[in-house]
Each structure stands twice: as structure tokens, then as C-alpha cells.
Amino acid sequence: MTSTAPPDGRSARWDEHRLARRRELVEATVRAVRRHGAQVGMDEIAAEAGTSKTVVYRHFTDRAGLYAAVADRVDGTIIRGITRAAGDAGNVAPTRDVVRAVIGAYLHLVEDDPEVYRFIVNAPILPAGERPTGDVAAGMTGRIADHVAGIVGAGHLWGVALVGMVRATADAWLADGAASAGRTADELSDDLTDLVWDGLRPRV
């Protein structure tokens, strides 16, 4: 007769502690990016977290692991913002207001947190040997595209097309100086909504 060992409470508490510490280090990284810019280094991240680089690497293995954790955090922020904006617009898909809300939520994150956005899209923290081939932010973009496709009631490819267009426009807009160059996030959202709406509207 076999017996099942009782769960180890100390192990569970340690797992919870490690997860909490990882979240704290991710938030410290975001603060360091905002303070020092997208080109932030590991020394600055560790100082913001009040610890050493060794401790950071212990939790994330390498810079790629830390970047992935921060990308997941930003991904969740964008998705929550899009979901909230779509709900405020009525969340009845597809409507022009919902499409406009989705586009606006993405662009406002870029406008409000430009250095964090650059950190995710350009990933300057990743050295050549740790960079994935292709688009480093493809995973985040794909998850957002799938979420957007569900919100606007369109197929997967429409979600990819919409998010890809908004991201490409956001990258160029940010490089040009964003709102300081003359177009606010709201104005750009109106322009992009005008551009995509006829393509997303159901055919009769």
C-alpha cells in the first residue's frame, strides 16, 4: 500500500517567495528603463532593485530571461488596456468605436511610456548571442493580435494586419518625436481608424 506524502509547506512558501521576487525584479527593471531609458544596463537595473546582478541572473538566468519576463508584463498591460478601452466603447464587435478604442489604447501606451516601449520593441539589452532571429517582439505582437481579433470579431489575419499596421505606424511616429512632431495619439488613432475601418467592416 502506497502513501502520499503531505505537501511540503516550506517548498510552497519558497515557490511563492521566488515568484514574488521575480515580479519585484520585473517592476524594478521597468522603473530603471523609465529612469535611464531603453538602453539601460544590468548595473542600473540591479541598483534600482537594491540588489546585485548575480541575484537578478539567479532569478532569470540571463538577460534574455529578464527581457522575456518584462515583455510578458508589458504584453499584459497592453492587453488589459485594449480590453478596457473596447469595453468602454461598447465591446460590440465589430464597430468603428471598438476599432478606434483598440488603436487608441495601443498608441497611448506608446505615448505615455515610450522608453518601455522601445525597450520591448528594440530589445537593446540583448547581446547578439542572446537575440532570437527575426523580430524580437514577435511573440508579444502575436498575442496582442490574437486578442484584438477576438475583440473586433474578425479573423486571425485581420488581427495580425491591424496590430502590425498600428505597431509599424507607432514605431515611425515615435522615431519622429511622437506628439512633439505634431500628431497626438488621438489624432493618429483617428487617422488609422479611417484607414482600416472599411477593410474591417463586414461585407453585405
The DSSP-derived string for the chain is ---PPPP-HHHHHHHHHHHHHHHHHHHHHHHHHHHH-TT--HHHHHHHHTS-HHHHHHHHSSHHHHHHHHHHHHHHHHHHHHHHHHHHTT--SS-HHHHHHHHHHHHHHHHH-HHHHHHHHH-TTS-GGGPPSS-TTHHHHHHHHHHHHHHHT--HHHHHHHHHHHHHHHHHHHHTTGGGGT--HHHHHHHHHHHHHHHHSPP-
| Sign for the pseudo-dihedral over CA of 86, 89, 90, 93 | negative
Tell which CATH classification among 3.50.50.60, 1.10.1740.10, 1.10.357.10, 3.40.50.360 matches the domain 10-200. Answer: 1.10.357.10
Predicted pLDDT of residue 201: 59
Radius of gyration over alpha carbons of the chain, in Å? 20
Residue reference for cell 469595453: 87
Q: What is the mean pLDDT of residues 153-173?
A: 90
State the pTM of this model.
0.85
Task: Look at 137 and 10; give whichever has higher pLDDT.
Answer: 137
Q: Report the range of poorest mean pLDDT among 86-100, 105-119, 136-150.
A: 86-100
Lowest mean pLDDT among 5-9, 82-86, 153-157, 178-182: 5-9
Q: Which of the four pLDDT bands, split at 50, 70 and 90, describes residue 180?
A: confident
Nearest to 171 by CA among 76, 94, 107: 107
Q: What number is the average pLDDT over the span 77-88?
A: 88
pLDDT at 204 (0 to 100): 45
What is the arithmetic mean of pLDDT over 62-72? Answer: 94
At 145 the pLDDT is 92
